[in-house]
């Protein structure tokens, strides 16, 4: 087994998933504004440290994706944040793209940037303890989108990123996110997501990526948020598994879904059903941001000193998702 393959498997083994705590300062400020807490470096650290020192970290969270600010911060107990994460046998990771910018040639679409200087930044992150990375490409759906240009250029950037990451001995999370916003049908989501993922793997193979050392982070197959023909539960699961089965090469060890704006319970329920229908060899787990943090953030904002209450809420969500990643969740466990 290669070193990269064993890191990927360790992150996603036994129902473990990934905590995506890599919100940029601008996004984190929006999240904190929503609960009326000032977005200072101390508050951002305080909330994140509360999650990273929870008891569920050891049992449920195989990896944590950090943002540049956080990976360089010290925890209140004097450890660095990566050391705190490693102390629960979880693996620190880092978001390395520098955000989605307007795509020249298609004003309505975006291209993710961050390749310049990436090799040097990765060497620094490796020294700080990171062993995996994330890069997110983002795609709108409508009648005309995503365009061939956006599908090709984002796949190319993802592959160039993944090649440099593997060169530095880290596992790249490849995240092509087809957004939920819009009135598109689930069938449109299925078709466009398949096309996007297939193009990503075509480019990854061209760039000689070791696919056994990659984690794919896709969206689930859903109808758009404004669609009149929503699908639920079993249909989401069947279409999602069908899409991944046909689009992802069998060498890839694991798939970790983003939550993408689904509620906490929807994200858990859909993941559980996906695992019931998963007739592939891929591990199918979670790499959730909002769906792991939303209730914990609300609780924390009531009293930021009450660490236990926030951790209790976070531990519950982490546990529910780890059960779902094994197809063992049921709604009555939520109470
Ligand atoms: P959500 O689960 O909130 O969609 O975030 C996942 C993520 O990391 C997006 O890049």
**How do residues 18-49 score in pLDDT, each as one tens digit?**
999 999 999 999 999 999 999 999 999 999 99
Instruction: Give me the mean pLDDT over the 175-203 stretch.
Output: 98
Atom of ligand 1 nearest to the CA of 288: 2
Does the beta carbon of 291 lie inside 6 Å of ligand 1? yes
CA of 287 to the centre of ligand 1 (A): 7
pLDDT at 183: 97
- N-term to C-term CA, the chain: 41
Q: How much of the chain exceeds pLDDT 90, in percent?
A: 99
For tokens 């390749």, the residue is 115
Residue 1 has pLDDT above 90, yes or no: no
pLDDT at 256: 99
Residue closest by Cα to atom 5 of ligand 1: 289
Q: Model confidence over 65-107: pLDDT tens digits?
A: 999 999 999 999 899 999 999 999 999 999 999 999 999 999 9
Does the beta carbon of 259 lie inside 6 Å of ligand 1? yes
Residue 296 has pLDDT above 80, yes or no: yes
Residue closest by Cα to atom 8 of ligand 1: 20
Q: Model confidence over 159-171: pLDDT tens digits?
A: 999 999 999 999 9
Average pLDDT, the chain: 98
Could you give the domains of the chain? 3-325 (3.20.20.70)
232's tokens: 């639920």
SS3 66: strand
pTM of the model: 0.98
CA of 255 to the centre of ligand 1 (A): 14
Best of 290, 292, 318 to mutate for ligand 1, by most ligand atoms within 8 A of CB? 290
244: burial class by Cβ within 10 Å (0-12, 13-18, 19+)? buried
Indicate which residues carry an active-site annotation.
175, 217
Does the beta carbon of 220 lie inside 6 Å of ligand 1? no
Atom of ligand 1 nearest to the CA of 136: 10
Q: Within a 13 Å sphere around the CA of 154, how many CA atoms are in the beta-carbon half? A: 32
pLDDT at 90: 98
236: burial class by Cβ within 10 Å (0-12, 13-18, 19+)? buried
Residue 56 has pLDDT above 90, yes or no: yes
Q: Model confidence over 218-242: pLDDT tens digits?
A: 999 999 999 999 999 999 999 999 9
pLDDT at 252: 98
pLDDT at 32: 98
Does the beta carbon of 258 lie inside 6 Å of ligand 1? yes
Does the beta carbon of 189 lie inside 6 Å of ligand 1? no
């Amino acid at each position: 087994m290669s070193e990269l393959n064993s890191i990927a498997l360790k992150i996603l083994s036994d129902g473990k998933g990934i905590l995506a705590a890599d919100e940029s300062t601008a996004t984190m400020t929006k999240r904190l504004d929503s609960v009326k807490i000032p977005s200072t470096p101390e508050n951002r650290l305080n909330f994140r440290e509360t999650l990273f020192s929870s008891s569920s970290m050891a049992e449920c969270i195989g990896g944590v994706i950090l943002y540049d600010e956080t990976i360089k911060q010290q925890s209140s107990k004097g450890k660095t944040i990566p050391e705190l994460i490693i102390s629960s046998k979880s693996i620190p990771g880092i978001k390395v793209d520098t955000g989605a910018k307007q795509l020249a040639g298609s004003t309505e679409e975006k291209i993710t940037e961050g390749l310049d200087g990436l090799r040097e930044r990765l060497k620094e992150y490796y020294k700080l303890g990171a062993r995996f990375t994330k890069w997110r490409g983002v795609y709108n759906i409508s009648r005309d989108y995503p365009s061939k240009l956006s599908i090709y250029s984002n796949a190319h950037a993802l592959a160039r990123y993944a090649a440099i990451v593997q060169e530095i001995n880290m596992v790249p999370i490849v995240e092509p996110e087809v957004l939920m916003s819009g009135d598109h049908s689930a069938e449109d989501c299925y078709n466009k997501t398949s096309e996007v993922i297939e193009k990503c793997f075509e480019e990854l193979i061209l760039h000689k990526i070791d696919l056994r050392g990659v984690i794919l982070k896709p969206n689930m197959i859903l109808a758009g948020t404004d669609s009149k023909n929503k699908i639920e539960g079993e249909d989401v699961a069947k279409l999602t598994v069908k899409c991944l089965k046909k689009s992802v090469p069998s060498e890839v060890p694991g798939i970790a879904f983003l939550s993408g704006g689904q509620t906490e319970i929807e994200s858990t329920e859909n993941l559980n059903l996906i695992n019931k229908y998963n007739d592939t060899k891929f591990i199918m787990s979670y790499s959730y941001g909002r769906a792991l943090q939303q209730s914990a953030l609300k609780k924390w904002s009531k009293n930021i000193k009450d660490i236990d209450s926030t951790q209790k809420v976070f531990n519950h969500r982490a546990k529910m998702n780890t059960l779902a990643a094994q197809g063992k969740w049921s709604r009555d466990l939520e109470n």
